[in-house]
Structure 1
Amino acid sequence: MEKYMTKSVGLLDKAEATANSMRRDELLFSYKGILYPTTVCSPETFKALESFEVRRNDVILAGYPKSGTNWLSQILTDLIAISQKKTPGSESSVNAEEEEEPYLEIGDAEKYERMTKLPSPRLMVTHLRPENLPKSIFQNKAKMLLLIRNPKDVATSYYHFSNGLALLPSYETWDDFFTDFMTKKMAWGCYLEYLSEWNKYADKENIMTITYEEVKENPALSVKNIATFFGIPLTEEQLQLVVERSSFQSMKKNSDKTHGSFGNIFFRKGGVSDWKNLFNEDQSKRMDKAFEEHIAGTKLGKKLKYDLYCKA
């Protein structure tokens, strides 16, 4: 993942430098009713993305910010290396010339032209809702891993993340952040609406849904299931290597190489139920009610095991 992230870190460095000279109200812009960070996204890029041609054998990871997309990107990067008969983490596992910012919606509008020259399978990551992705993803039935996480931990992690990165609006208090989180003022939009939109696609055979919590609970089984879904055979030794390299301890230790000065921001705790350190009783009930209205009872709602992870 080291070389794979070089472009992302460079882009983040530039975005942070630009954001430092911007007013808080300039950090986000609205596109089709959803907010995005001004320094890494643009209307031109979104427009160009619409006609991007996704290949059937591309590997796609979709997840809302702070759902664990960094973590699962590590797993998928290693699995792709194995599928190409390379050793995960070795210098030869990624070609530096073949780098491109993996987040589909981040970067310049010309990136999609450059991506046409990349060999298959290409790893693509996105925080976008399905209706804002290129239609070719669904037309060509590219396989996609949909990663979801309990909303209280997503909010908690997003709060710390927003206060760590200059390119996102920061918050003086958790209460202020929670108000914005619940009133759709987040970059990439409202998480519960995100879940509700993706739920419409949950039964498609080319989409596999996995939760942050289940990967945390049983990493080996999760990696095995993901590899099976993407048709990548694994030996026991390869499985253990992927599990070890994607552990929170290993990724945090390696974060200087993969994420530069942003390592501590991206790898903070990597746990479950940190929400209990921030939510008060009223906020907890408010989230419970919103979850009930938006997503409880749906396929994704049931998969999240809300009562297990979000009830004190």
Structure 2
Amino acid sequence: MTADLVHKGYYHYKGIKFDMLYTPPGNLDAMATFEVRPDDIFLVTYAKCGTRWTSEIIHLILTGGDPDKIDRTCIESPLEMSYLKDKTDIIFGPFYKKLETIKTRRVILTHLPKSVLPPQVFTKKPKVICVTRNPKDCGVSMYHFALGLGVIEEGSWNGYIDNWIKQEDMVMGGFFTNVLDFWKHRHDSNFLFMKYEDMKKDPRGSIVKFADHLERTLTDEELDKVVHHSEVKNMKKSYDNFEKRVQGGVFITKAMGKVPFIRKGQIGDWKNHFTVAQNEQFDAVIRENLHGTGLITFFQSGLVSK
């Protein structure tokens, strides 16, 4: 696949916009032949839809609720992205190559749309967990993440959200196209489709669903530990401990070592950002994209204002 390079370090691959620095074309070319293992666990999310939180839950389930047993160097970057090989000289390397060296069971994070995901995900049928979120909250979280990285400037909310509402030429593709492509697989036996809001409202019940899908039986004590250590406040403690214990750990718990992957971990923060007009405009876009798909019912209350 030849990349069509455009300005500002972006390019298009299969019609989808990507960032040249974090996801160079060679990384995406490699997805076509990436070797998927039957015991892999793929965590598929649109960016800022609870990726790190869900990843923590999965790893805690696999370690019986012990955060100190999690090898965070194996999850420092999504499958398709580059990561810092040398955290002093800022030397990047493709993370998929690091994943190829892991001998133990892999938990593979990815923001890739279905059209670029390794084809073996659908032929070898590893465990797949898809997590989605109210796109209003997703947009707000993305905004603050971009602010922290210096991609946009303070006070640029109106321009940013206008682009988010239009969903035009989004990096990694649009929210609705992404979620709908995976929604079609919600009944596949190896897929589990979860909603961020449900996870917040019933963390214990959601963790049981994750464990059942992964075919991992937890004792009551282990389940209690997973619930406890996956709370956002306790995740932050685990991240802080890791940063202090491991040289360069900050580059694993924070994007580029400066923007925490975990911010508020709340639902409904969009109400503190959207104007009435912006909310009404986005409600119309949501209805247009999700009408008749069953996803509005799946999201239920809080997605579209009455």
Fold shared per TM-score above 0.5: yes
TM-score in terms of structure 2 length: 0.83
Deviations 1:269-304 (A, max 9, x none): 111111011111221112111111112332433211
Out of 240, 259, 279, the residue aligned to residue 284 of structure 1 is 279
Aligned CA distance change for structure 1 residues 53 and 276 (closer, same or farther; 3 Å): same
Structure 1 counterpart SS, 2:210:
helix
**Partner residue, 2:129:** 145
Aligned CA distance change for structure 1 residues 301 and 120 (closer, same or farther; 3 Å): farther
Aligned CA distance change for structure 1 residues 214 and 100 (closer, same or farther; 3 Å): closer
More helix by share: 1
The reply to whether residue 192 of structure 1 matches residue 176 of structure 2 is yes
The reply to whether residue 103 of structure 1 matches residue 78 of structure 2 is yes
Distance in 1 of aligned mates of 2:156 and 2:279: 16
Count matched residues.
279
More strand by share: 2
Query: In the alignment, residue 279 of structure 1 is paired with which amino acid?
Result: F
Out of 202, 216, 219, the residue aligned to residue 232 of structure 1 is 216
Aligned CA distance change for structure 1 residues 111 and 308 (closer, same or farther; 3 Å): closer
**Partner residue, 2:3:** none
Deviation of the 1:30 alpha carbon: 2.5
Deviation of the 1:95 alpha carbon: 8.8
Deviation of the 1:158 alpha carbon: 0.8
Distance in 2 of aligned mates of 1:198 and 1:93: 28
Deviation of the 1:35 alpha carbon: 2.0
**Partner residue, 2:305:** 311
Structure 1 counterpart SS, 2:109:
strand
**Partner residue, 2:206:** 222
Structure 2 counterpart SS, 1:254:
helix
The reply to whether residue 57 of structure 1 matches residue 39 of structure 2 is yes
Deviation of the 1:192 alpha carbon: 1.6
**Partner residue, 1:89:** 67
Deviations 1:165-199 (A, max 9, x none): 13x44564211001221232432221122122222
Deviation of the 1:264 alpha carbon: 5.8
Aligned CA distance change for structure 1 residues 269 and 173 (closer, same or farther; 3 Å): same
**Partner residue, 2:145:** 161
Deviation of the 1:120 alpha carbon: 3.7
Once the two structures are overlaid, the 10-residue window that deviates more, 99-108 or 229-238, is 99-108
**Partner residue, 1:33:** 15
**Partner residue, 1:15:** none
Once the two structures are overlaid, the 10-residue window that deviates more, 173-182 or 40-49, is 173-182
**Partner residue, 2:246:** none
TM-score in terms of structure 1 length: 0.81
Distance in 1 of aligned mates of 2:230 and 2:172: 26
Distance in 2 of aligned mates of 1:114 and 1:268: 27
Deviation of the 1:310 alpha carbon: 4.0
Aligned CA distance change for structure 1 residues 190 and 201 (closer, same or farther; 3 Å): same
**Partner residue, 2:186:** 202
Query: In the alignment, residue 46 of structure 1 is paired with which amino acid?
Result: L
Distance in 2 of aligned mates of 1:255 and 1:198: 30
Deviation of the 1:139 alpha carbon: 0.3
Structure 2 counterpart SS, 1:161:
helix
Query: In the alignment, residue 53 of structure 1 is paired with which amino acid?
Result: E
**Partner residue, 1:260:** 250
Deviation of the 1:200 alpha carbon: 2.2
Query: In the alignment, residue 118 of structure 2 is paired with which amino acid?
Result: P
**Partner residue, 1:176:** 159
**Partner residue, 1:78:** 60
Query: What is the root-mean-square deviation of aligned Cα atoms in Å?
Result: 2.3
Out of 201, 205, 212, the residue aligned to residue 196 of structure 2 is 212
**Partner residue, 2:292:** 297
Deviations 1:239-274 (A, max 9, x none): 111111111111223333356273763222111111
Q: Which residues of structure 1 form unaligned runs of 5+?
A: 1-24
Structure 2 counterpart SS, 1:205:
coil
Aligned CA distance change for structure 1 residues 114 and 151 (closer, same or farther; 3 Å): closer
Aligned CA distance change for structure 1 residues 296 and 236 (closer, same or farther; 3 Å): farther
Query: In the alignment, residue 105 of structure 1 is paired with which amino acid?
Result: E
